Structure 1
Amino acid sequence: MVFPKGKKTYSYADYLEWDNDFNSEAIDGEIISMSPSPTPKHQDILGELFAELKMFLRGKDCSAFSAPMDVCLFASKESAPDTILDWVQPDILVVCDSDKIGDKNICGAPDLIVEVLSPSTARNDRLVKYNNYERAGVKEYWIVDPYNMTVEVYSLEGASFVQSKILGKDDLLTVEIFPELEIDLKNIFKE
């Protein structure tokens, strides 16, 4: 994908005109990620976590989605695409407000976002996206490290994320926004 010369910021409208097989993320109109395909280990962990969330949410008011799914963090369904400068594609997201679920994307902050780290995305997941997820009002954010087999859980308290726990492969992950859901991390991190 070649970007138009002389242009430094892009809107969601620009992105929608690009090739369908081209995925990117942007913060304040600046492209932050055009990553290569994830590794099998990344995808296996993502799949296991997604399966746990999807099964738990069956028949409930919340919905789980996996990448690629565009999330326009600071937009509403009424926002014009050329005014949207922030869009991301979290590995997993849970939305409990059906009004945020559009035909082609999610508009507004999800309730839960999960990012599985890759060497090429770790900085963005830990810094750039972390800050925007916090600012957008995501209630719970997990950073999953497939190499160290850990899950860092951040909960929104007021306007700031607070790290509520760091768990390893032998631990039980209790979900802050769904206290009745427990995920045995032995099923997620396989050696």
Structure 2
Amino acid sequence: MSLVEPIPTQPAVPWQPFGPLTRADLDRMPDDGHRYELIDGALLVTPAPAIRHQIIASNVNDILKRACPAELLVLFAPVDVVLATDTVLQPDLVVAAREDFGEQDLPVAPLLAVEVLSPSTRRFDLMVKFSRLEAAGCQAYWVVDPDTPSLIAWELQDGAFVQVAKVTGDEAAHLTSPYDVTVVPADLIS
């Protein structure tokens, strides 16, 4: 019998944070299907979206791509939008000037950010992302609620988001920022 007890092993930890996380820390997160975002150095982890969420986001993507001018680019998540070293968001869709994209991310506010609401992200999308994108100068922000179905769209005016459309079901939203496009919420859920 040994007089020395074995030392229990602890799982490996990639780093021991002592303060707010940064973009560099975010780059070390595993590629495991989760969405990793930073808000003021705090890590937000959400699971991969449900199939219904992805169908709706894909349909919005199709509508935006069909109308997109050549100098702009529409990208589907995951795309890091770097608003500060300690704030990195991943909207479901972004539209920005092609020249604004870096090799790995969008280092400026997009012209348009779109979120499809889900139970786990609803408050975050409507409050935190809304305010961070507004403060960063994002020109337009849309949220699609699959449960209604509905679309609410805001545009930046004098530094603040102003609601420019709220439609449900078969109603059409005719939007102009960042370019002319029409969205019918009922068409997004099929």
| Runs of 5+ unmatched residues, structure 1 | 75-83
Partner of 1:85: 86
Runs of 4 or more above 4 Å deviation: 1-6
CA distance in 1, matches of 2:179, 2:117: 25
What is the CA-CA distance between 1:20 and the residue it aligns to? 2.7
The counterpart of 2:30, out of the listed 1, 11, 19, is 19
What is the CA-CA distance between 1:164 and the residue it aligns to? 1.5
1:91-170 equivalence runs, <5 A? 91-96=92-97, 98-170=98-170
Partner of 1:53: 64
What is the CA-CA distance between 1:6 and the residue it aligns to? 5.1
User: Given residue 162 of structure 2, which amino acid in structure 1 is its aligned partner?
Assistant: V
Partner of 1:70: 80
| Larger gyration radius, structure 1 or structure 2 | 2
Secondary structure of the corresponding residue to residue 68 of structure 1? coil
Is contact 1:169–1:189 with CA below 8 Å preserved after alignment? no
Is contact 1:8–1:30 with CA below 8 Å preserved after alignment? no
Partner of 1:79: none
CA distance in 2, matches of 1:178, 1:108: 15
What is the CA-CA distance between 1:55 and the residue it aligns to? 2.0
TM-score by length of 1: 0.85
What is the CA-CA distance between 1:18 and the residue it aligns to? 2.3
What is the CA-CA distance between 1:2 and the residue it aligns to? 6.1
| Runs of 5+ unmatched residues, structure 2 | 1-11
Structure number with the higher strand fraction is 2
Question: Cα 1:34–1:170, aligned 2, differ >3 Å: closer, same or farther?
Answer: same
Secondary structure of the corresponding residue to residue 165 of structure 2? strand
TM-score by length of 2: 0.86
Question: Cα 1:94–1:6, aligned 2, differ >3 Å: closer, same or farther?
Answer: closer
Among the aligned pairs, what percent are the same residue?
Answer: 30
Q: Aligned-residue CA RMSD in angstroms?
A: 1.9
